[in-house]
Structures are given as structure tokens and as C-alpha cells.
């Protein structure tokens, strides 16, 4: 079946270090969304990427969508303790479907 894998599963960083999580799909995606889930909380939408090769920035966060629309990455510059949580990607596979497939998530811990 269609799968979306994320690596790494866990990441511990010192505050101020950079962090990157990668999302890889077994099939081409029409779009990809990124969510953040704080411990004990619910997923909160961060951003959506639609175009091949698209790059979007939100302050210290940079999101990329691969040229083949099968992979994506989220990079955080100079992590802060407020970045703690689990980051999920969610992709919408071709052909047209309403079913998002969520990645396995990357749990980020930031050490002060």
C-alpha cells in the first residue's frame, strides 16, 4: 500500500542547533502538508506545498517539496525549546483522492 516514511524517528538537539526531518513517499503526491504536535496535544497545521521544487519559509522554518513530488523536508534553524514536539508530514497521493496519508513523525527534543 501507499506509505509515507519520515526520518529520523527521534532527534535530540542542543538549543541553537539546526534540525531537519525528511519525508519520503512511495508514490507521487499532489500536495504535502506539515503539522506540529506538542506532547499531549493535537496536530496543528504549519504549511502546505503544492508545486514541484517549491520552497517556503516561515521565520526559522524552511519547507521543501521535491522535484519528483515524492519527498519533502522541514528544516529548523537555531532551534528553541518552543520547537519541542512531533513533526508530521501528510501527503495526498495521485490520482485524485481525499485521503491524506500521514508520515510516521519525527519527535524533536531540544536541550537547553
Partner 1 sequence: NAGVTQTPKFRILKIGQSMTLQCTQDMNHNYMYWYRQDPGMGLKLIYYSVGAGITDKGEVPNGYNVSRSTTEDFPLRLELAAPSQTSVYFCASSPRTYNEQFFGPGTRLTVL
50 binds partner 1 (CB under 8 A): yes
Which range, of 14-22, 44-52, 60-68, 74-82, touches partner 1 by CB under 8 A?
44-52
Which member of 11, 56, 70, 100 binds partner 1 (CB under 8 A)?
100
The SS3 call for residue 19 is strand
Q: Is 27 helix (H, G, I), strand (E, B) or coil?
A: coil
Toward partner 1, which CB reaches closer, 66 or 91?
91
The answer to whether 98 contacts partner 1 (rule: CB under 8 A) is yes
Position among 21, 25, 33, 73 found at the interface with partner 1 (CB under 8 A): 33
Q: What is the C-alpha separation between 71 and 86, in angstroms, rounded? A: 18
For 51-78, letters b (16+ CB in 10 Å) and e give: eeebeeeeeebebbbbeebbbbbbebee
Q: Name the β-bridge partners of 74.
A: 21, 63
Judged by the rule CB under 8 A, the positions of this chain that interact with partner 1 are 1, 6, 30-31, 33, 35, 41-45, 48, 50, 88, 90, 92, 98-105, 107
Amino acid at each position: 500500500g501507499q506509505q509515507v516514511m519520515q526520518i529520523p524517528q527521534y532527534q535530540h538537539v542542543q538549543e541553537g542547533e539546526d534540525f531537519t526531518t525528511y519525508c519520503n513517499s512511495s508514490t507521487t503526491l499532489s500536495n504535502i502538508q506539515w503539522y506540529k504536535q506538542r506532547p499531549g496535544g493535537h496536530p496543528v497545521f504549519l504549511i502546505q506545498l503544492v508545486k514541484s521544487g517549491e520552497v517556503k519559509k516561515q521565520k526559522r522554518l524552511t519547507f521543501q517539496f521535491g522535484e519528483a513530488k515524492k519527498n519533502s523536508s522541514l528544516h529548523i534553524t537555531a532551534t528553541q525549546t518552543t520547537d519541542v514536539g512531533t513533526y508530521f508530514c501528510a501527503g495526498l497521493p495521485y490520482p485524485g483522492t481525499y485521503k491524506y496519508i500521514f508520515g510516521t513523525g519525527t519527535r524533536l527534543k531540544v536541550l537547553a
